[in-house]
Structure 1
Amino acid sequence: MRKPRIDYAAVFRALPGMVALLTPDLRYVDANEDFLLLAGRDREQLLGRYVFDVFPENPNDPAAAGMRETRASMLRAVATGERDTMALLRYDIEDRERPGHWVEHFWSPVNAPVLGPDGNVVLIVHRVEEVTELIRARSGTGSDSSRARVLEAELYTRARELQELNERLRLAQARDREVALALQAAMLPTPTPVGHHRAAVRYRPAVGTLNVCGDWYDLVDLPGDRIAVAVGDVVGHGLQAAGVMGQLRSALSAAARVAESPARAVEALGLYARHVEGAESSTVVKAFIDWGTHTITYSSAGHPPPILLHQDGTVTFLDRATDPPLGARPEHVARPEATTDFAEGAILVLYTDGLIERRNEDIDVGLARLADSLVRHGRADPEALADALLADLLPSTDTTDDTALVVIRL
């Protein structure tokens, strides 16, 4: 099917609503039909002319600020390269048929930059909506109508300012989310192979929310045929959570290399976390896997239990060494640990609560769902199994928490 040829100049002129194009030095390049009609000007009266020569400020109104505010908005769009939405504005226009007679008008303007190939602003799209009749209709008539119009305009202005503030907040949050996710990705790279053992890791951010960048994983080679594996979850989200996550992950990774057991490593992390702002109430589970003895020794600080799939298809939740989260106790207390045996070919899965927890649902339901999925897909290799678990357990939309996952074939 052939793509239709679009006459964008014709589309621009037919756009509903008042739209004009200006150069960065605020001279008219073009205007659509609605702009010319509602502004009461011909195209020849606009093209190439400075915007405020065409529409000067009302000299009879000493309080008029429409020209100053409009110019400031346009120049902000040029300087920042970002859309600038103005609050409701009173800007009177001189009647072309009666020179010296100024007609009251209220406008709702937006100034949007158009960037060239070099990233610089080459045009300003100036879109305005006239709301004069709306203001007048709502204010009524009579001796108080003028004051009512002013009050109505003020309320409308505050509403538009709030709308603009919310839009700027949304954009700032979106930028923060992108930066936090980039930082998270840099601190959670795909791990190097741990000995000759097969492992898969995954990180999935929450969808459509800022609740990202608190979850993490870590795998470390230990002397002998051993590895240390951990997953953790930082309370909070965004850039702060990503920063705290990086500190805790690095500290526990270092502790695992010198501690004689996972409990001692988690103890060291707990002491360190007391001096990291934002680390309180973080959770973590640490496991040492020893192929020489075919044992898993683990310790948990308030974290959901790892799950072990045996060769016979049964599952065991490793929940015999669970303690409060980091920083939950006012004084230092030794962390517990437990050891369980495994047979060659078993599967160990560590995860964060985003994989199993759902609003208005008991956590046991999520744990049972995880166990069922693991049994059904347990014969797959770790990479395929990790993808299958995420597909089964994470909704396709509206996930409100991020998820970290580690799958190891023992």
Structure 2
Amino acid sequence: MRLRVLEAITESSLRNLDLDELFDALLWRVRELFAVDTITVLLTDASGQQLVATAASGLEAEVFQGVRVPIGLGFAGQVAQRREPVWIEHVDESTVVNPLLWERGLRVLLGVPMVAQGDLVGVTHVGSTVPRRFTDEEIDLLQLVADRLATAAHMHRSRSERAAAAMLQDSLLPGLLPIPDGWELAARYVPGAGSGVGGDWYDVFELPGRRIGVVIGDVVGGGLPAAIVMGRLRSALRAYALEFADPAEVLGKLDRKASHFEAHTMATVGYAVIDTATQRMDLALAGHLPPVIAVPGQAARFVDAPVDPPIGYGLAVTGRRGVSFDVPPGALIVLYTDGLVERRGMDLDDRLEKLRGVASPVSPEAACVRIMAALVGDQPATDDIALVTIRHSPTPD
């Protein structure tokens, strides 16, 4: 039997199948090899708190009805929580969450965890309508099958999440930036090498009263979960920006929203509002690195602004602060995420000084080119990079 199982899960023709086809092919074969009546694969959901029936042979209704089992509850939930094989010989409401199993007449269930690269992927279980005992060899062989399915599911999920995160990120980043009279803007976004995309973002939008909103942010974490949170924060900030003029108040509202609705979420955010009529910028920072301002005839410097706690967990219990300053004609503002300046093994202060040194009151596009060349060069960044440059156009002679 061992040889037949190994042949089934390593057959070369399986390599070209997508995940659903692989599940269909393998589950049918494994059901015959183990002489069982049902085999089901339940995969963890996005939250990692539930198992969702994804593929089955012999009890397809589990999949059709979208059966979900909380991890830690019932038979499959115990397999997932303990991450070890579980075998029961009494199938009813006292041992199993899903009534379809005992309604099918199952008398015995054997389940094994699906783990890939240390992550719980799901549970595979087989069932029999007649009493039987599973040998140690059968348990080991079912674990081999589960390992094969786990690897395939993990790879598929990783590819799918990267693609979805990239699409989400691309859809949320602004396309053409606003071109208000007397102001120029340029931007860059580069995903970190190996991480695909994450929670870094920038946003630029026009506001009533000839004002421009500029956002730079970084959600802690990476991949699709961070990109989803980023999208929610972006939308919420835009809504608050229409209701409240003060960037500090906007970040306060965003903090309250994230702390209440986005459990275990943290993000650094810089939000600025440019009043094109008065040529002033209001700025608030939530755990974010301060922007650089380069004024013609002066050395570039970091904006002297208070840095309050990041967004999330209700950390800013005493309120949030902001700063307001003039942006003279010809001045350039540089906002960025930490992926631009942080490098493993390099001093952050040295990298920040390098950024300050290369910032000069040139056109925003030229500034982006210079900054990326100096701080990124020909080496891929390990973290996402978002960069926005804004210049108050020089007064014509």
Is TM more than 0.5 here? yes
Counterpart of 1:222 in structure 2 is: 207
Structure 1 residues 71 and 255: alpha-carbon distance in aligned structure 2, compared to 1, 3 A threshold: closer
* C-alpha deviation, 1:299, in angstroms: 0.7
Residues 83 and 399 of structure 1, relative CA distance in 2, 3 Å threshold:
farther
Paired residue for 1:369? Answer: 354
Structure 1 gap segments, 5+ residues each: 1-62, 85-154
Equivalent residue letter for 1:326: I
CA distance change for structure 1 residues 74 and 363 in 2, over 3 Å: closer, same or farther? closer
Matches within 5 A, 1:131-280: 169-170=154-155, 172-196=157-181, 197-210=183-196, 212-277=197-262, 280=265
The alpha-carbon deviation at position 290 of structure 1 amounts to 1.9
Is the alpha carbon distance of 1:67 and 1:230 closer, same or farther for their aligned partners in structure 2, counting shifts above 3 Å?
Answer: closer
The alpha-carbon deviation at position 221 of structure 1 amounts to: 1.4
Change (3 A) 1:331 1:282: closer
Give the alignment of 1:105-124 within 5 angstroms: none
Q: Quote the Cα distance in structure 2 between the aligned partners of 1:71 and 1:177.
A: 27
Give me the TM-score of the superposition, normalised by structure 2: 0.62
Residue 402 (structure 1) aligned with residue 340 (structure 2): no
Separation (CA, whole Å) in 2 of partners of 1:369 and 1:179: 35
Name the CA distance, whole Å, in 2 between partners of 1:167 and 1:387. 41
Deviation of residue 407 (structure 1)? Answer: 0.7
Relative distance call for 1:395 and 1:82 in structure 2 (3 A) is farther
CA distance 1:71–1:188, shift in 2 (3 Å): closer
The counterpart of 2:270, out of the listed 262, 285, 304, is 285
Contact 1:194–1:227, Cα closer than 8 Å, also in 2? no
Structure 1 residue 175: Cα displacement: 3.4
The 2-side partners of 1:260 and 1:227 are apart by 11
Of residues 316, 321, 329, the one that matches 1:336 is 321
Residues 67 and 329 (structure 1 numbering): CA distance in 2 closer, same or farther, change over 3 Å? closer
* 1:305–1:317 contact (8 Å) kept in structure 2: yes
Q: What secondary structure sits across from 2:204 in the alignment? A: strand
Q: Tell me, in whole angstroms, the C-alpha distance in 1 between the residues paired with 2:202 and 2:359.
A: 19
Q: Could you tell me how far 1:361 is from its partner in structure 2?
A: 2.6
Cα deviation per residue 1:41-67 (whole Å; 9 max; x = unaligned)? xxxxxxxxxxxxxxxxxxxxxx46438
The yes-or-no answer on 1:301 pairing with 2:286 is yes
- The range that moved more, 67-76 or 362-371, is 67-76
Corresponding residue of 2:366: 384
- How far off its partner does 1:400 sit? 1.4
Residues 81/222 of structure 1: CA separation in 2 closer, same or farther (3 Å cut): closer
Give the AA of the match of 1:400.
T
Query: Which of 313, 320, 327 pairs up with 2:312?
Result: 327
Give matches, 1:25-36, under 5 Å: none
1:90 maps to none
Deviation, structure 1 residue 69: 3.4
1:70 paired residue number: 8
User: Is 2:296–2:330's contact at 8 Å kept on the other side of the alignment?
Assistant: yes
State the secondary structure of the residue aligned to 1:361: coil
- Partners of 2:288 and 2:307 within 8 A in 1: yes
Question: Contact 2:212–2:274 (CA<8 Å) still a contact in 1?
Answer: yes
CA distance in 2, matches of 1:64, 1:261: 69
Q: 1:360 to 1:64 in 2, by over 3 A?
A: closer
CA contact (8 A) 1:194 1:221 kept: no
2:339 maps to which residue? 354
Paired residue total:
279
Say whether 1:317 aligns with 2:305: no
For residues 212 and 223 of structure 2, what CA distance do their matches in structure 1 show?
A: 30
Structure of larger gyration radius: 1
The whole-number CA distance in structure 2 between the counterparts of 1:260 and 1:338 is: 13
Structure 1 pair 271–72 and aligned structure 2 pair: CA distance change class (3 A) = same
Question: Cα RMSD between the aligned structures?
Answer: 3.5
Q: Matches of 1:394 and 1:405 in 2, distance apart?
A: 12
Q: Deviations over 1:198-231 (max 9, x none)?
A: 1112110001235x22111111212333211110
Alpha-carbon distance change, 329 to 277 in structure 1, aligned in 2, over 3 angstroms: closer
Structure 2 gap ranges (5+): 23-139, 393-397
Distance in 2 (CA, whole Å) between partners of 1:64 and 1:160 is 11
Deviation for aligned residue 1:390: 1.5
Aligned 8 A contact 2:195 2:222 in 1: no
Distance in 2, matches of 1:359 and 1:313, equals: 31
Give the TM-score, by structure 1 length.
0.60
Alignment CA distance shift 1:287-1:343 (3 Å): same
Tell me the CA shift for residue 371 of structure 1: 0.9
Deviation at 1:82, TM superposition (A): 10
What secondary structure sits across from 2:166 in the alignment? helix
Identity over the aligned pairs, expressed in percent? 36
